[in-house]
Amino acid sequence: MNLVRNVIVMAVPVLLLAVVLLGSGSALAATHGSYEATTDACAGCHVAHAAPDPKLLKAGSTQTVLCYLCHGAGTTASPYDVKYGVITGTQTYASTAGGMEKQGGEAGPNVTSRHTVWGYVADANGTAGPWNGDESYKSGLDYIPGGTQTLTGNGLMCSSCHQPHGSSNPRLLRTSLLGTEGLTLQFTMSDVGNNAKRVTAYVSGSSQWCGACHDKFKTLNHNSPPYPGEGHANYYLGMWRHPMDAHPLLPPGSDGSVETGTPLEKPGGVKHIACLTCHRAHATTAQATGYALSWPRDPVAPGSGTTSALLRMDNRGTCYNCHGAGYYNSWNDNRLVAASGGGQIPMDCSKCHPSSNHFSGGGYDCSVCHQ
């Protein structure tokens, strides 16, 4: 089958990375798009006259069961095992999004929290709920964590985030969520063989994309309406929260990788903190103990969270990886950074943000924030 491929390519030492943009018409698996007039892809999911489940689907009773036909453990129909969080190219790679039950394959660790799609029991007491398969197990119908809306129908499903019949995004991500249109999520990928691609860095868009559902984490951009994930303001809807889109400078020795660290988005080469900096999209194997196992929810839906909350690192390792013991990426961060006129000057947020609302310049070299 001939697939139309239209990607922006950047030359990078050793690897050739493709920056894939929503709307770019990038390469997709044949089953999920770029159909020809005589495609066999329909038969991958549907049966015309003897289907065992509604919508002429080949499997049920939940959509998750259908997706696991190709994306479950042990299948060879797709290089992407979403159940056990592994990508099979010329070698195997742990999924940067996380697996729904394990990470890195069948022998990998169990997940501790997940986006609870149809068929899984909701997370509780610090662990991810077990697979049940019963159609009654649906999440998001009454409460989206950090959201003001609720889901309808069968609650959170794979297709809540992914478009099974094709998208311009190579991960089939939707461009519209709960009434928010024009969403884009950009990242770089490398070809790892076996028709598989692996995410290597995040570029932009995760805060806006995730914020379409988790809209209580919106922030206010200076003198403009609230949009998901935009602006540095840290008070909204009666809650103080971590600023988004700020420009952190990771401390020496910290881990900024998509595999095990806190990766920053880099739109236009500018470092930004975003949702995927601290959280994984599908699930995590991070452990939560002690103080990290009990944290307050929002004032509208009070109570305590008791899970690892999709965090990329154990406990509050994501915090320490950027801030240390409060020494870095704070108003009193005194690290020396490059000055625009040469030499070095102390890093001081107030030089660029005297009232925390706008950029005024501060004598810093562009490379401090830009790459």
Reported confidence tier of residue 352, pLDDT bands at 50, 70, 90: low
What's the token pair of residue 189? 């990928």
The 10s digit of each residue's pLDDT in 261-280 is 999 998 888 888 999 999 99
pLDDT of 233: 56
Which segment, 73-82, 83-92, 118-127, is predicted with the most confidence on average? Answer: 83-92
What's the token pair of residue 47? 């049966």
Range in 52-61, 157-166, 226-235 with the lowest mean pLDDT: 226-235
Distance of CA 51 to the CA centre of its chain: 34
pLDDT of 15: 33
Residue type at 80 in one-letter notation = Y
pLDDT of 339: 76
- For 322-345, what is the mean pLDDT? 81
**pTM, full prediction:** 0.85
Instruction: Tally helices (H) and strands (E) across the chain.
Output: 7, 17
- Judge whether 324 and 332 are in contact, CB under 8 Å: no
Neighbour tally for 284: CB within 10 Å: 28
Q: Is the peptide bond before 355 cis (omega within 30 degrees of 0)?
A: no
Distance CA 240, CA 303 (A): 16
Neighbour tally for 40: CB within 10 Å: 11
pLDDT of 5: 34
